[in-house]
Structure 1
């Protein structure tokens, strides 16, 4: 059986929804299962927010060294640490990007959404060819969700975005490299990396909501690099979602590490 057959069989045997999009950057092979299935994006949308902020820096609208003073009204609960800190701390925009990505800080994300503007983020998604990706609310805005506004994406779109970053084509080569470096520092673990050796380098961004687990990233092996985006929801528990991502990731690793 092929790797595609193994993944397809696993997806079909699992309760709930799983979408997978993989691209081997050495061979060009693609493996897609439910790749255009739309999911609430959770924190994977933060990659796109980061990209728009860097675009604004490139165009001179902001400077990455600009300081933002933390105020109580900015604080958002959920993942991250900023909402637990005292107000009046100063952070540069670059530091907020790093916090948003590597520990998925929601306060940092919402501040950056305000700076970037949702319309600009969505325009960037369109310009990059992310046909099923849209941001319509801030992090932890569950009232917006109740009113029908949510953030959406699909595995295919995230694999496409990561491939453009890898190729140096998001904003430009310099800013793509900066994005990649931040994604390599990810501290929210236990999905794509769950069953892989500890020394495997992954540039990735997970996302999590109730009964929803995602992880999208680029895996760097000695002789092969590949992109893998796995999204899940409505499995029995969040742990089941993380394990499903980990098992699919291990299947791909076991195949591509031999190349």
Structure 2
């Protein structure tokens, strides 16, 4: 872990921008600006997923509830291109929100769950600095200074809800983990590792000058959590390479730990 930390600090030192990192590997922690607030981009969709599953458990909504496509917006996702005849279940929308980062699905979930309820849930989970202030692709809100924000530390707390504790039932935890393993974007934390050998459940996000990713790594009964937030970037491609190196370092640490005699 010490060698990994040294490499990580070296990689971050060359970054043209600012970064916040929080990593936990089998109880060993590394933090770098982990309490600093960053634009969340699409990693905010992880706590929305958790609140959706919580409300389903509480009987406030049903995962099988069927909805028509509404509030179409651009950016990532596929719903914006589909016909008005298409209907989807809440589970479908949660899945699209994570796997292809569908912004239309996300906005539909925000409307269904309630922005206030999502924020209250995040506070109860201990996400002290994470706030959902606007829907996806709401440029008018951005111009008014309203942006969704989080910290690397908050994201680690959020990821642990999916694998630990009793905030969600075991069934919901399993579903959340499964959905996140199907995320289709693999150019950051999982970009330089063999995902056939190790389970990676992740959610990434990006905006101009912003590159974020958070992930749960599982290998032979061992678990690692990682959250990397980057802002004010001059070179977004290089920043993604740095995040990939971080993911590879976590992978190597887990593999070494599991193969030590």
The interval holding the TM-score normalised by the smaller chain is: over 0.9
For residue 60 of structure 1, report the CA deviation from its aligned partner.
Answer: 1.1
For residue 34 of structure 1, report the CA deviation from its aligned partner.
Answer: 1.0
Match status 1:245 vs 2:243: yes
**128, 135, 154: which is aligned to 2:125?**
128
What is the alpha-carbon distance in structure 2 between the residues aligned to residue 223 and residue 125 of structure 1? 28
Structure 1 equivalent of residue 93 of structure 2 = 96
Structure 1 equivalent of residue 12 of structure 2 = 11
Contact 2:161 2:168 in 1 (8 A): no
For residue 15 of structure 1, report the CA deviation from its aligned partner.
Answer: 1.5
Structure 2 equivalent of residue 34 of structure 1 = 33
Structure 2 equivalent of residue 47 of structure 1 = 46
For residue 168 of structure 1, report the CA deviation from its aligned partner.
Answer: 4.6
Moved more, 123-132 or 218-227: 218-227
TM-score (norm 1): 0.94
Match status 1:173 vs 2:174: no
Structure 1 equivalent of residue 107 of structure 2 = 110
What is the alpha-carbon distance in structure 2 between the residues aligned to residue 153 and residue 169 of structure 1? 23
For residue 31 of structure 1, report the CA deviation from its aligned partner.
Answer: 0.8
Structure 2 equivalent of residue 20 of structure 1 = 21
What is the alpha-carbon distance in structure 2 between the residues aligned to residue 170 and residue 205 of structure 1? 20
Matched residue of 1:257: which SS?
helix
TM-score (norm 2): 0.93
Contact 2:15 2:239 in 1 (8 A): no
Matched residue of 2:20: which SS?
strand
Unaligned runs of 5+ in 1: none
Measured on the aligned residues, the alpha-carbon RMSD in Å equals: 1.4
Structure 2 equivalent of residue 208 of structure 1 = 206
For residue 159 of structure 1, report the CA deviation from its aligned partner.
Answer: 0.8
Structure 2 equivalent of residue 56 of structure 1 = 55
What is the alpha-carbon distance in structure 2 between the residues aligned to residue 218 and residue 113 of structure 1? 24
Structure 2 equivalent of residue 85 of structure 1 = 82
Moved more, 1-10 or 206-215: 1-10
What is the alpha-carbon distance in structure 2 between the residues aligned to residue 188 and residue 12 of structure 1? 26
Match status 1:155 vs 2:156: no
Contact 1:102 1:186 in 2 (8 A): yes
Q: How many residues align?
A: 255
- Equivalences for 1:223-242 in 2 at 5 Å? 224-242=222-240
